[in-house]
Amino acid sequence: MAGVSLKCGDCGALLKSVEEAQEHAELTSHSNFSESTEPVLNLLCTACSKPCRSKTESDLHTKRTGHTEFIDKTSEATKPISLEVPKVGATAEGAVTATTNQDEEMVVPEVDKKILEELESMGFSTARATRALHYSGNAGLEASVTWIVEHENDPDIDQMPLIPANTKVEAPKPSLTPEELRAKQQELRERARKKKEEEEKRTEREREKERIRIGKELLEAKRIEEDNERKRILALRKAEKEEERRAREKIKQKLEEDKAERRRKLGLPPEEPSVAKPAPVVEEKKSFLPVRPATKAEQMRECLRSLKQNHKEDDARVKRAFQTLLTYVGNVARNPDEEKFRKIRLTNQSFQERVGALKGGIEFLEICGFEKIDGGEFLFLPRNKVDIAVLNSSGSELDSAIKNPFFGIL
């Protein structure tokens, strides 16, 4: 079957002639065309005689104008396509004659002259205004302007529309009187105002939903924060109770030891054999065993408690001393090979103000492993005596002493 159209291989558009293919190529830069046996549709609107070249174009026309009836004249207009390139010297009139040389005579459709003049006064060309009025069904100035805006990129927007001479065209609708025009403008403004109000209400609803969502997220975050705070307080109270229990046990043990010592000095026998054994024997055995982190931790806790008791009138200074000690042991724990972190000058003014002048500060460092050297001028922790477990234990005790508000009360 002979080809009846040219098909663009880039976008699939069907074109009636080589001229249309050239115009399509200039507008889109597409260059892949091939001869096709698929004809270009010629759907003629029965209401306004607008020809539609595809089903999509007829659907758009129906959507814009409401016209739904079309006459399929594809078979009448389909002819084998000529692949000859038109001559360069051909005039526009010759091209029109070649493309419209059919049995039917093509004429310019009748449109509302008054609306046409109004469109021309707005700056639109006669061809563009005539095309807009014709394809909008002479629906009025607003419909024509809308059609022009929607089709301003059409390649034939400035070509005068042509329809078969024997096509029945609906009589153009009379143009609006000034009063009707003002009423129409007022209606359009009212419609635009209502649309704007609806859009603002919709936007406000979206904003309100967003505010509610953010509020819920903030409430949930606050609830989680409060739960975490309650857990922290419960853990702190538990630690305080444990601290009090250990303090009471230690006081009780000290009282039992004092009582046993008094009975011994008076030459009295112990009240119970089970009570007489533990204190001295256990302490004596501990002195021969290697120092374990647990024992060191107890010594550190007692040292820190003593430091706080000795300077309880200046809580800020005690807290600063605890923080300074935590910095010293933390630096050594993180950098055990750095000698500068393992050596402290006792005469350093900052050290003296923060730690050295407080009773118990230097003792705490000595429990951690620091030793006095050079006649007591420096505190030094030898590399081979660095015990990470002891340093971690000291850090935990210092952290507890800083954060626990009841530390050292008993």
Question: What is the pLDDT at residue 231?
Answer: 92
- Helix (H) / strand (E) element for 33: namely strand 33-36
Assign 373 to helix, strand or coil: strand
Let me know the angle formed at the C-alpha of 155 by 151 and 160, rounded to the nearest 5 degrees: 85
Question: Is the CB of residue 109 less than 8 Å from the CB of residue 163?
Answer: yes
Question: What is the pLDDT at residue 174?
Answer: 52
Q: What is the pTM of this model?
A: 0.31
The 10 Å CB-count burial string (b at 16+, else e) for 74-102 is eeebeeebeeeeeeeeeeeeeeeeeeeee
Question: Is the CB of residue 379 less than 8 Å from the CB of residue 343?
Answer: yes
Tens-binned pLDDT, residue by residue, of the chain (410 aa): 456 777 888 887 887 778 888 887 877 778 788 888 888 888 888 888 888 888 888 888 888 888 888 888 887 777 777 766 555 444 444 444 444 444 567 888 888 888 888 888 888 888 888 988 888 887 788 888 888 888 888 888 888 888 877 665 555 455 556 777 677 778 877 888 888 899 899 999 999 999 999 999 999 999 999 999 999 999 989 998 999 899 999 999 999 888 888 888 877 777 765 444 444 444 444 444 454 445 788 888 888 888 888 887 888 888 899 899 999 989 999 999 888 899 898 888 888 888 888 888 888 888 888 998 888 889 899 988 888 888 888 888 888 888 887 776 65
Question: What is the pLDDT at residue 163?
Answer: 81
The answer for 88, left when phi > 0, alpha when psi is -120 to 50, beta otherwise, is alpha
**Residue type at position 252:** K
Question: At what angle are helices 278-288 and 178-265 packed, to 10 degrees?
Answer: 110
Count the residues in the chain: 410
Q: How far apart are CA 42 and CA 27, in angstroms?
A: 23
Question: At what angle are helices 126-135 and 113-121 packed, to 10 degrees?
Answer: 130
End-to-end CA distance of the chain: 109
The 10 Å CB-count burial string (b at 16+, else e) for 310-335 is ebeeeeeebebbbebbbebbbebbee
Q: Is 306 exposed, middle or buried (0-12, 13-18, 19+ CB in 10 A)?
A: middle
Assign 389 to helix, strand or coil: helix
Q: How far apart are CA 99 and CA 76, in angstroms?
A: 14
Torsional sign, CA 322, 328, 332, 334: positive
Q: Take residue 55 and report the two structure tokens written for it.
A: 């089903």
HEC readout, 151-174:
CCCCCCCCCCCCEECCCCCCCCCC
Q: What is the Cα 370 distance to its own chain's centre?
A: 52
Question: What is the pLDDT at residue 92?
Answer: 43
Backbone angles phi, psi at 79, to 5 degrees: -140, 150
Q: Tokens 């419209």 identify what position?
A: 100
Q: How far apart are CA 301 and CA 395, in angstroms?
A: 11
Question: What is the pLDDT at residue 86?
Answer: 54
Domains of the chain listed by start with CATH number = 295-403 (1.20.58.2190)
Indicate the DSSP class of residue 87.
P
β-pair partners for 321: none
Query: How do strand 106-107 and strand 163-164 relate by DSSP bridges?
Result: antiparallel
Question: What is the pLDDT at residue 331?
Answer: 92
- Helix (H) / strand (E) element for 188: namely helix 178-265
Q: Tokens 């009212």 identify what position?
A: 190
Torsion angle defined by CA atoms of residues 365, 371, 376 and 379, in that order, rounded to the nearest 10 degrees: -50
Assign 79 to helix, strand or coil: coil
Q: How far apart are CA 313 and CA 93, in angstroms?
A: 111
Question: What is the pLDDT at residue 168?
Answer: 57
